[in-house]
């Protein structure tokens, strides 16, 4: 028998569940361990990802499938293998979800009536590149690279769900730090940040080194607060 903590499983009516309460006050349910073949486990994980309304974690999938996290990783590896499917597995941080395949992007946009959706400006794309390659970054660090005020473009990217606030830097004023979202990966058809192409040379300059140099300069300009 496998003990499943109901608070960790979506779509379960806790009030109607028959189970037991552990020492932490959490309701647990006894379910028989599922004996699934590798092929069936892959199919099950595919089904769970399809019904999940938002990105989920390996641990949540393991609980839902009544298997170990290592089994989930093995099943995901099968789903991530090249195939003719119309979707891809997208990983972002500790979460995973399904997204439509980039090769069908134009068809999906037409089907959903998104063809007239405003395209990203060059300023937005420039800012996204900085965030994607150097996250987490503050607005000051972004502006150190771009050389112009970036508050407006950051606001646009936040509203479109392509970047998010991931924390605050331990400096004077505790400025917000930004990172990319799972929607960023879906928008550009990436399965993870590992799919980002390496930065090359522009006008003979190493862009990666230029980014790091500009951000380092911005960090030096804002001293870290010392605890008194």
> For residue range 89-143, what is the model confidence (pLDDT) as tens digits?
999 888 999 988 888 888 887 887 766 666 788 889 889 988 998 889 999 988 8
Q: Return the number of other C-beta atoms located less than 10 Å from residue 123's C-beta.
A: 15
In a domain, 103, yes or no: yes
In a domain, 228, yes or no: no
In a domain, 227, yes or no: no
Whether 106 and 129 map to the same domain: the answer is no
Whose CA is closest to 103, among 86, 89, 117?
Answer: 86
What is the C-alpha separation between 228 and 226, in angstroms, rounded? 6
Whether 1 and 74 map to the same domain: the answer is no
Length of the chain in residues, anyone? 228
> What tokens does 38 get?
């590798």
Question: Whole-structure pTM over 0.85, yes or no?
Answer: no
**CATH number, residue 148:** 1.10.10.10
Whose CA is closest to 183, among 108, 140, 128?
Answer: 128
Q: Considering its fold, how many domains does the chain have in total?
A: 3
In the numeric block, the tokens 């004996």 are attached to: 35
Could you tell me the residue range of the domain that residue 2 belongs to?
A: 1-33
Whether 92 and 53 map to the same domain: the answer is yes
């Amino acid at each position: 028998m496998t003990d499943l903590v109901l608070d960790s499983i979506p779509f379960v009516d806790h009030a109607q569940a028959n189970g037991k309460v552990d020492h932490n006050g959490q309701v647990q349910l006894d379910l028989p361990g599922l004996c699934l073949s590798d092929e069936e486990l892959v199919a099950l994980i595919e089904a769970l990802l399809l019904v999940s309304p938002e990105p989920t974690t390996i641990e949540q999938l393991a609980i839902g499938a009544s298997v170990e996290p290592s089994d989930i990783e093995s099943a995901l590896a099968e789903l991530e293998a090249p195939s003719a499917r119309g979707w891809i597995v997208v990983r972002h941080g500790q979460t995973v979800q399904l997204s439509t395949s980039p090769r069908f992007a134009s068809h999906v946009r037409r089907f959903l009536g998104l063809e007239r959706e405003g395209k990203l400006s060059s300023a937005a794309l420039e800012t996204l590149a900085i965030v994607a390659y150097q996250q987490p970054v503050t607005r000051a660090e972004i502006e150190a690279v771009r050389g112009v005020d970036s508050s407006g473009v950051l606001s646009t990217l936040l509203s479109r769900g392509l970047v998010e606030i991931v924390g605050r830097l331990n400096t004077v004023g505790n400025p917000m730090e930004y990172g990319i979202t799972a929607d960023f990966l879906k928008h550009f058809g990436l399965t993870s940040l590992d799919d980002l192409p390496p930065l090359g040379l522009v006008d003979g300059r190493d862009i990666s080194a230029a980014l790091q140099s500009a951000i380092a300069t911005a960090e030096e300009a804002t001293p870290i607060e010392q605890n008194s």
